[in-house]
Structure 1
Amino acid sequence: MVANYYFTKFVISFDGLHFNKQKGKYIIMENLITLENVSKTYGNKCVLDNINLKIVRGQNLAIIGDNGTGKSTLLRIIAGLSSLSSGKRILCTNGDKLKIGYVPDRFPKLNFTPYEYIYYMAKIEGFSQTYIDKCSSELFQTFNINLMKDTWIKYLSKGTIQKVAVIQAFMSKPDILLLDEPLSGQDNKSQKKFIDILQKFKTEESCIVLACHEMNLVDKLTDEVITIEDGKIISNIHNKDNDYGNMLIRFKVCEGFDASMIKKFNGLLNIVENGQLVSVLINKHYSDIAISKLLQMGCSIASVNEDNL
């Protein structure tokens, strides 16, 4: 379910300046959460391995990677919902409380209506009736689910339930908003609307961290992208606004090569086969994962360029 967590703030920590494109000015990068050498294992399986990451105010971070690479686990650790097998999770910020809004990929189908759920969660947090009515009414209208606010959640579609979860998180005005596959279950029109809403949320001095596959969401919302493979961060791209584009990877295949495996790569835009030489055009943010997989498959990388087929 959606959860909001409050932590005592005990340190002010700065990490330079960050240019906020929407506000047109530099803001101090205030560290909110720092992960140091964090690992997480379940039984004999290592899900996250030696993760080092800073979550800062004003940052909009995307976590990308294939299914099962540890993205959701990393979000839960950032939220404080999952214990660490090793390493440290450090809260580094000023004031009395750090508020975290966490929206999981799967939300329970409750015997509450959206309005009832929002109302009770807001009351638990101590919000006034006036604020609840005003804010919930605006958000139900914004997310275009006003006609469904009195329908039991268990009867709503996955995409609509996801919107209810996000509305509850928005009402809390979190310092950090964590979203796990937020576009899951939504049609193209709803996805566009959702992205527009999140872009407006970015104007606040908060932080968005999202795990997703949709590159349109990554490109429009985030300024930093980390790529996870086999529980490890294999790339970290900062100032993403200056780093759009695709990568053209040319490689030689070995005997018995199965081209169908390439077609399953995330971010793949095109593929051209010419005997033993194959060229793939792939979104830049997935290029490191693609190269790693090609090498594991026994391929020989001939060239990597920013280009078009």
Structure 2
Amino acid sequence: MLQPSVLVRDLRKDFGPVPSLDGRMVKVLRGVNFQAAPGEVTTLLGSNGAGKSTTLSCAQGLLKPDGGDVTVLGQQPYRAGSALRSRVGVMLQDGGLPPSARPLALLNLVARMYQHPASVDELADRLGIHAFAHTNIRRLSGGQKQRVAFAAALLGKPEVLFLDEPSAGLDPQSRQIVFDMIQEQRALGTCIVLTTHLMDDAEKLSDRVFIIDRGQTVAEGTVAQLTSWSADASESGELSFEARPGLPVEELTTLSGGVLSEAAPGNYRLSKFASPADMVALSQWLDASQAMPTTMAMRKRTLEDVFLEIAEKSRDE
């Protein structure tokens, strides 16, 4: 197993004192844990305000942690110097780009900071930056700024690449180009850590996902592991089938908290279809009803389902 390029253990970060809270500190991170390996895309998934960007800022050395350990390529980023920073590419959520600069001039300036930079022209070509190369960054759209920031993050041929909401503001074509380039970096052995609140992005890109809720890591695994069936009835899929209309749906009761309903004449939907026992109960009910489905399909759990389940549990605590 490859050694992790990024290792975060029990990361804590406070902000404050906050006048509106009587001078109290706000605990933004209360125990974030994750690791990211070379040649993998590791995604930090969470709602807005969950602590994803703050976690990345600590891992990038932009913020000093108040507790826990953070190492990037074996070094503590907050204390590390230029030797480490030259091996790391960073794309900030707000771009972090000087507003009066022009895209190509800025990228050429950034390239001169590295001994063996990537080709500015090739990156600009791939990301369509030539089309707005002579426009001040302050006048660019959000998606255009994202493309410039992404190019700047790649210029140093980084070993570790931090991407904060990389698809924010991108049109579908630009989004696919960025996704393709992320996968190319992964194939080169780059350790990629990205944050997103978009479940589709996480499912398409991720080797491993760490879900952050209220400043803590609450779940982790591959997409397949996180979305697989669980004995916990709240973690379930949905089954739909077609059969003759008017079946006695209220008689199917031996389920893991699921509900059978006739969504339209002859179209049935079984929510929270959670266990093999539910399949047995459904088969027995169909037999008792003398009904044979003509079609049957199960919608697999998605990361969005997992995320919503975690959010619901969090509200109940």
- Structure 1 length normalisation: TM-score? 0.69
Q: Residue in 2 aligned with 1:110?
A: 99
Aligned to 1:223, which of 191, 197, 207? 207
Letter in 2 for 1:294: E
Paired amino acid for 1:72: S
Does the alignment pair 1:119 with 2:108? yes
- Unaligned stretches of 5+ in structure 1? 1-15, 17-28, 251-270, 300-309
Deviation at 1:48, TM superposition (A): 0.9
Please say if 1:101 is aligned against 2:89: yes
Q: Which of 1 and 2 has greater Rg? A: 2
Please point out which of 149, 157, 164 is paired with 1:165. 149
Does residue 1:31 correspond to 2:19, yes or no? no
Q: In 2, are the aligned partners of 1:235 and 1:288 still within 8 Å (CA)?
A: no
Specify the code of the residue in structure 2 equivalent to 1:293: A
Q: Equivalent residue for 1:258?
A: none
Pick aligned residue for 2:311 from 293, 296, 307: 293
Counterpart CA distance in 2 for 1:34 and 1:90 is 5
Q: Which has the higher strand share?
A: 1
**CA 1:298–1:41 in 2, change beyond 3 Å: closer, same or farther?**
closer
Q: Percent identity?
A: 24
> For each residue in 1:138-188, what CA deviation from the matched residue of structure 2 results, as whole angstroms up to 9, or x when unmatched?
111111222211222111111011101111111111111111111111112
Q: 1:292 to 1:60 in 2, by over 3 A?
A: closer
Deviations 1:22-44 (A, max 9, x none): xxxxxxx1222322222111122
**What is aligned with 1:89?**
70
One-letter code aligned to 1:87: G
Aligned partner of 1:32: which letter?
S
| SS of 1:45 mapped into structure 2 | strand
Q: 1:45 aligns with which of 26, 33, 51?
A: 26
Distance, in Å, in 2 between the alignment partners of 1:153 and 1:244 is 40
Mapped to 2, the partners of 1:242 and 1:51 lie a distance apart of: 20
**Separation in 2 of the partners of 1:198 and 1:58?**
11
Q: Identify the match of residue 232 of structure 1 among 191, 216, 222.
A: 216
Instruction: Tell me the TM-score normalized by structure 2.
Output: 0.67
Q: Distance in 1 between matches of 2:194 and 2:84?
A: 22
Deviation at 1:293, TM superposition (A): 3.5
RMSD over aligned Cα atoms: 3.1
Counterpart in 2 of 1:210? 194
Is the 2:226–2:306 Cα contact (8 Å) retained in structure 1? no
Shift of 1:242: 6.5
Task: Give the 3 Å change call, closer, same or farther, for CA 57–295 of structure 1 in structure 2.
Answer: closer
Distance 2:36 2:316 in 1: 37
Residue aligned with 1:124, SS: coil
Specify the SS of the correspondent of 1:234: strand
Residue 297 of structure 1: how far off its partner (Å): 5.3
> Match of 2:187, SS?
coil
- The one-letter code sitting in structure 1 at the alignment partner of 2:177 is K
Distance in structure 1 (CA, Å) of the matches to 2:63 and 2:203 = 29
Match of 2:243 in 1: none
Structure 1 pair 121/273, CA: closer, same or farther in 2 (3 Å)? farther
Kept in 2, the 8 Å contact 1:109–1:155? The answer is: no
How far apart are residue 197 of structure 1 and its match? 2.0
* Residue 185 to residue 234, structure 1, CA distance change in 2 (3 Å): same
Aligned residues: 243
Q: Deviations over 1:179-217 (max 9, x none)?
A: 111111111222122212222221111111111122332
Are the aligned partners of 1:225 and 1:285 in contact in 2 as well (CA < 8 Å)? Answer: no
Is the contact between residue 203 and residue 303 of structure 2 (CA under 8 Å) also seen in structure 1?
A: no
Q: Structure 1: how far apart are the matches of 2:42 and 2:156?
A: 20
Which of 112, 132, 139 is the equivalent residue of 1:155? 139
1:191 matched to 2:175? The reply is: yes
- Greater Cα shift, 178-187 or 282-291: 282-291
